[in-house]
Structure 1
Amino acid sequence: MKKLLLAFFACVASASIFAQNKKSAEIIKKEALKQETVLDSIDYLKHNLDFADTAADTRSLLYYTGTLQEQLGLYTDAGNSYAKAAGIAAHDASNMPKVTSEQLVLNAVRANLCAGNWETADSYLNSAVRNSKNETVSATVKLYSVWSELCKASSVPGADISDSLELLKAYSSMHSMKSVKAQVLFTLWHLTSARIYADELNREFPLSPESSVANGKSQIMRVPFWYFVPKENAASSSQNRYTENSKVPAKDSSVQPEISLSQKHPGKKQQLGLFKKKENADDCIRKAKEKGFDAYCYTETRSSGTTYFIVAVDENSSMTMGQKLKNAGIDCYTIE
C-alpha cells in the first residue's frame, strides 16, 4: 500500500512539474528567435510543441514553424506543419499571427507544389476548402488547381499544357479572380514568355514581386515547380530551359566529344540545367561556352537514388553572373 501511495504521489508530482513547464506560443516563439540560426529556431519550435499551453498555442506554433521552413526552402516540411496546424480545431493564440484554417490548407498546398508533390497538393485541394464561400480563398483554390496540373505535367515528357493556358487566360479577365490576378499573369508570362503579360503586370501591379521578376530585376527562388514546369513551344523559345528531355543536335553529322565531369565548386553559382543524361548536360555546356560562359558539370545523387548531371557557372565577385546569363538568353537560378 505504501508503495502504491508513493507511486501515486510521484505521478502527481511529475504531472505538476509538466504543467508548470507549459508555455504560451508567444514565449516559445521568443525563445526560438534567440537561437543561433533559423534551422536551430525550427528545431527548438519542433521540440517544444509538447510544452505548448493550449491547442491554440500548438496551432500557432505549427503555423510559425511552417513559415520558417518555407522561407528556407524546406517545402515538404512546411507543408506538413501547415497541414497539422489546419487539423487543430482552435483559434489563434494570443499575440501570434492570425490565420484561418482555410489559409493554412492553402499554405500546405502551395508548399507541396513548390516541392513538386502535386498528389499531396491535390488531396488538400479536394478537401472542404474547395467549397469555401470566401471569394479570395475560392480564387486561390482555382489558381492552385491549375498549378497542380502544371506540376503534374512537369513529370510527363511532352505534356500538353494548352488547357491550362486557356484556363489561365480566362481567369486573367474574371473579376472573381482579381485577388490572384498578379499570379495568374505571372504564370502566363512564365509559360509563354509573351511580353503582353509582363506589360500588364507593370501596368496593374508595378510594385509586385511578379512584376520585378518579369522585368529581370529579381529572380525566382530555386523552387522545383517554377524551374521544371513545361513551357509553351519550349523547343523554339529563345528562353528555352535546358531539361533532361533536351535532345543533342547533330552538327555536320559528327558526334560531339563528351565533356569531362568536375567537382562541385564552393560558393554561389548559377545552375543552368539538371539532367538525367550526360549527353544533354554536355550539350548545355557547349551552348553556354559558345556564348562565353565557363560552364561545367558535376553529379549529385538524390535521396531517391537518382543521379543527376548538374550544369553550373560560378558567380563572380560582383554577383552579376545571373543577369549576364539571362541577357544572353540562358535561364538560370542561384544555388550554393
Structure 2
Amino acid sequence: MRSCCLGFEKPYLFFIIIVGAMMINAAAGAFAESSEPALQPAVQTLAQKAFAQKTDAAVRQFFEKNLAALPNAQAKVQALTLLAEYEQHNGNYSNAADCYRRAAGFDTTDKKTALLLDAVRVLLCGGSMDSARSLLSEIAAALPVSDEDPYYRRAAVYDTWRLLAEDRADRAVPLITAYTKKKAFSEYHPALLFTLWWVNGDEDAKQRLLKEYPAGMEAAAVNGTVTVQPSTFWYLMPRSGLAQKPAAGSTASKTSTVSKTGTSSEAIKASPQSSAASKTEAASAQPSKPAAGSETQAKPSYYQLGFYKTKKYAEALATDLQKKHFTPIIKEEMRPSGTVYFAVLVKENAAGDMGLRLKDAGYEAFPIFP
C-alpha cells in the first residue's frame, strides 16, 4: 500500500516539513520550474516562530504582524508563499489564494505569473470556480497564446479542469484530448489522461496511462493501488463508474497525496492532508464557504462519500454503506445545464465522530458544513 498522507499534530512540524522540502529542492532543482532561492534568514526566523504557535489563527496572525518588518520584497514573497502552503495544508483555500496573490504583488520576476497560477490551483481545489475563472482571465490577458509558453500551458490545463467542474465537459473533453496528443503538454499528460478516465471512464486513456506512466501516482489511482482522497475540486467533477471501482485486492482505505511538482500532482491534488479535505467548504455539490475564521472550528452536518452522474452508482454506494450499518441519503442536484447529479451523504451523529467511523470502515468522506 502506498500512502503519503501525513497528519501534523502541531503547526511547528509543518515548518520542519515545508522549510526542509523547500531548502532541499532549492539545492536539487527538483521543482518543475527553475530552482527556488534559499529562504532568507529573516524568513526562516519568522517562519520558525510562527509555526511554533499553537493554533492556525495564531500562526496566521504572527505572519501578518511581522510581514512588514521583512527586509525586502523577495523575503515577503517567500513568507507569503510559506503561509499559503500552510493555509492550503489546513484546507483554507481562499486564504491560500489570497496569500499567493499578495506574494505575486511583491514579486518583480517572471515567477509572478507562477504565483498567480498557484492561486488559481488552490481556488480550483476549494471549488471557487468564479474566482478561478476571473483570475485565469486576468492571467491569460498577459500571456502569449502559444503552446511553447509554460505558463500558457499551465493556465490552459487549469481552464479545462475549471470547465469540467462547471459541467462543461462538452468543451473540456475535446481540449483535454487534444492536449494529450501534443508533445508540448507532455508534462501534463499523466494528469490529463487520468482526468479523461475519471470523467468518462475512457479506456484508451487508462491503457495509455498504465503503459506510458506505470510508476506514476495517476496510474496507481487508476489500478487501485491508491485511492484519491475527496476534495471539493474532485467532488465537483462528473465521475465515471469506472473511477469509483477499486481494483481487485485494493481497499478504500488506501490513500495518497502527490507531491507539489507542478504537473500531474496538481491534478491529482487528491486532497492531501495538505489539501485538508476534512476542513473545507461546502454544502452539497456546489459548496459555499463558512464565514471567515470558522473554517477550522465549524462542525459538519453531513459527510459526502460520492457524487455521480449515474444514479445506479450512487445507489450501489448507498447499499454498501447500509451493509456496514450506516444510513446514507442520496441527494439530487440539478446543474444549470439541466444535468442531474447524485450525491451520497451520511449525517453527522450526536457524538460528532461519524467522520472517524466512516474512515474506520474504509471510506474517504468529505465534510459538508452548514
Pick the TM interval, shorter chain.
0.5 to 0.7
Shift of 1:111: 0.8
Aligned to 1:82: 100
2:128 matches 1:138: no
Contact 1:288–1:294 (Cα < 8 Å) also in 2 = no
Aligned to 1:328: none
Contact 2:303–2:345 (Cα < 8 Å) also in 1 = no
Q: Matched residues in 1 for 2:199 and 2:104: separation?
A: 32
Q: How does 1:74-153 map to 2 (within 5 A)?
A: 74-90=92-108, 100-129=111-140, 131-132=143-144, 135-153=149-167
Q: Matched residues in 1 for 2:227 and 2:56: separation?
A: 22
Shift of 1:129: 4.7
Q: Matched residues in 2 for 1:42 and 1:107: separation?
A: 19
Residue of structure 1 aligned with 2:65, choices 47, 55, 77? 47
Aligned to 1:302: none
Q: Matched residues in 1 for 2:201 and 2:162: separation?
A: 20
Q: Matched residues in 2 for 1:204 and 1:189: separation?
A: 15
Shift of 1:168: 0.8
2:313 matches 1:272: no
Contact 2:238–2:307 (Cα < 8 Å) also in 1 = no
Contact 1:271–1:310 (Cα < 8 Å) also in 2 = yes
Alpha carbons of structure 1 residues 240 and 24: separation in structure 2 relative to 1, 3 Å: closer
Aligned to 1:321: 362
SS at the partner of 2:215? Answer: coil
Aligned to 1:161: 169
Give CA-to-partner distance per residue, 1:23-69, whole Å, 9 cap, x none: 82232112223334566433422332232222222222111111111
SS at the partner of 1:189? Answer: helix
Q: Matched residues in 1 for 2:194 and 2:57: separation?
A: 31
Residue of structure 1 aligned with 2:325, choices 266, 269, 294? 294
Aligned to 1:67: 85
Give CA-to-partner distance per residue, 1:158-217, whole Å, 9 cap, x none: xx5232111111111101111211211111111012343233223333333322222223
Aligned to 2:205: 197
The structure 1 segments of at least 4 consecutive aligned residues displaced by more than 6 Å after TM superposition are 282-285
Shift of 1:75: 1.1
Aligned to 1:250: none
Give CA-to-partner distance per residue, 1:6-30, whole Å, 9 cap, x none: xxxxxxxxxxxxxxxxx82232112
Alpha carbons of structure 1 residues 283 and 214: separation in structure 2 relative to 1, 3 Å: closer
How many aligned positions are there?
Answer: 251
Shift of 1:79: 0.9
Name which one, 1 or 2, has greater alpha-carbon Rg.
1
Alpha carbons of structure 1 residues 239 and 89: separation in structure 2 relative to 1, 3 Å: closer
TM-score if structure 1 supplies the norm length?
A: 0.62
Q: Matched residues in 1 for 2:163 and 2:359: separation?
A: 39
Q: Matched residues in 2 for 1:35 and 1:170: separation?
A: 48
Give CA-to-partner distance per residue, 1:305-324, whole Å, 9 cap, x none: xxx993267656994613xx
Q: How does 1:212-291 map to 2 (within 5 A)?
A: 212-231=220-239, 237=241, 271-273=304-306, 287-289=319-321
Q: Which runs of 5+ in 1 are unaligned?
A: 1-22, 92-98, 154-159, 246-265, 299-307, 323-331
Contact 2:125–2:231 (Cα < 8 Å) also in 1 = yes
Alpha carbons of structure 1 residues 274 and 226: separation in structure 2 relative to 1, 3 Å: closer
Q: Matched residues in 1 for 2:190 and 2:318: separation?
A: 36
Alpha carbons of structure 1 residues 225 and 205: separation in structure 2 relative to 1, 3 Å: same
Give CA-to-partner distance per residue, 1:250-287, whole Å, 9 cap, x none: xxxxxxxxxxxxxxxx9xx9742479xxxx9x968853
SS at the partner of 1:310? Answer: strand
Shift of 1:128: 4.2
Q: Matched residues in 1 for 2:361 and 2:157: separation?
A: 33
Aligned to 2:346: 311
Contact 1:139–1:179 (Cα < 8 Å) also in 2 = no
Alpha carbons of structure 1 residues 273 and 191: separation in structure 2 relative to 1, 3 Å: closer
